[in-house]
Amino acid sequence: MKLIIDTDPGIDDAMAIAYAAAAPEIELVGLTTVFGNTHVHQSSRNARYLLDKLGLSIPVAQGASFPRGSESHTPSEHVHGPEGFGDLTDIPEIGYNHALPAAEFLAEMARVHKGELVVCAIGPLTNIADAIRLDPEFSSNLKRLVIMGGAVFCPGNITEHAEANIYHDAAAANEVFATPPETVLVGLDVTLKTLYEAADFEALASRSPHMGAFLHDISRFYLKFYKEIGGLEGCGLHDSTAVIACTHDPMFDMASIGLQVIAHGPELGATRPDPSRPSISVCRNVDGAGVVRLFTDRVASLP
């Protein structure tokens, strides 16, 4: 499967990118970056740093700096740390971004790999909405769009109504769901059933002394957040679960539902069923233990 990950790295993004690099079913052909967990220039730097650690030479195309209609964004430092990787703050600038901005890169790659390319969006959906606006054939050129976002049948995580990726650009998300390509939504309805605990990170580090140890080290900040805010003894494999959904449909129970995103007011970012919208596949349940095992086994195969 040819895959582009649209990302805002981010600790859980780093885990997802490592998984994609290790998965034999996936040919990772590029990363596109967006604001979200960090500012977009940090997202791009972190993406290039991760690819260097993974020994991958693929493009990183930088995308949107801000949500639709805004000229500011506050990163999630309290969740991911000041530079996106927990307590790690000395992150070198390695290499350069691709010449094309993210939306143009996405549209171009969808044309080049028509009917083959899957895009997995694990940050705000601004770049995806921009690509749909830019190229009317973008959606039909894609094989599938897989989104980590939303809380359709459960409470949100940034507010009681909304999941963070959708909340950070509700207008863009609403545009995407209005005219989607074939889409799978992997939201909090399932990702909170894939808890990854400190012992799992320790086992991963022992099996993968380079990449696994890196993920173990940056995860400490993330696990502390989950413990202090949610009282949880682990973190959800949010972004990794979305990447796994790109290739392992049988691990998920899905419902075909149209969605609207609330773009204003106190329920900003809420993902509500709307039968007037085109149907997408919304994940309602998951083999959580299977996802945890698969993630560990694949990432543990890395050096």
Active site residues: 8, 238
Task: Give the C-alpha distances (Å, rounded to integers) separating 132 from 14, 33, 158, 169, 194.
Answer: 26, 16, 26, 15, 31
Position 26: which residue type? I
Q: Specify the length of the chain in residues.
A: 303
Residue 175: strand, helix, or coil: helix
Residue 285, strand partner residues: 253
Position 21: which residue type? A
- Looking up tokens 């307590």 gives 87
Cα-flanking dihedrals φ and ψ of residue 142, to 5°? -70, 145
Do 174 and 272 touch, CB atoms closer than 8 A?
A: no
Residue 272: strand, helix, or coil: strand
The two structure tokens encoding residue 78: 């309290």
The two structure tokens encoding residue 108: 């171009």
- Looking up tokens 């000395």 gives 90
Pick from 23, 22, 20, 25: which is nearest to 7 by CA?
20
DSSP per-residue codes, 243-271? HHHTT-GGGEEEEEEEEEE--SSTTTT-E
